[in-house]
Amino acid sequence: MKAVITQKNVEHGRLPNKLMINVYTGVANNENIVTLKFYINKNNDSDYVYATLLVADIEQGVEIFSSVKCRAVGTDGQSSAFARALEAAGIQVDEVISGAGHPAIKGAISAIMRALGYTEYNVINV
């Protein structure tokens, strides 16, 4: 999988009143370069998954943030929300990840790391 990053700087945001359910991070040189977080409503009363994506590589002058919500549940719902977060951030991947689950999420984060020029990195699901 390959990624193309079209934006360099985007404002940060946050999701109040949400419960974090999953975190992925792309790490290189002991730095979190890509951080992807998933949330649901605290009372779990809806079918929405929320995703925030931060790509921050200070050395390359890249700082991208997106925050989206997606009507979906489970790991497949998380990959659907991630696909929307990528689109909102101006990042394109050459494979369909929406609904493809955990392997697609890790693959897309790896593609972003490679697009930023990293050859040695880890993608961690915390």
**SS3 state of residue 79:** helix
User: Global pTM?
Assistant: 0.86
At 119 the pLDDT is 96
pLDDT in tens, 45-104: 678 889 999 999 988 889 999 999 888 766 688 999 999 999 999 999 999 999 898 999
Take residue 17 and report the two structure tokens written for it: 């009143």
Question: How far out from the chain centre does Cα 73 lie?
Answer: 16
At 55 the pLDDT is 96
Q: What's 34's DSSP letter?
A: E
**Beta strands 48-57 and 62-71, pairing class:** antiparallel
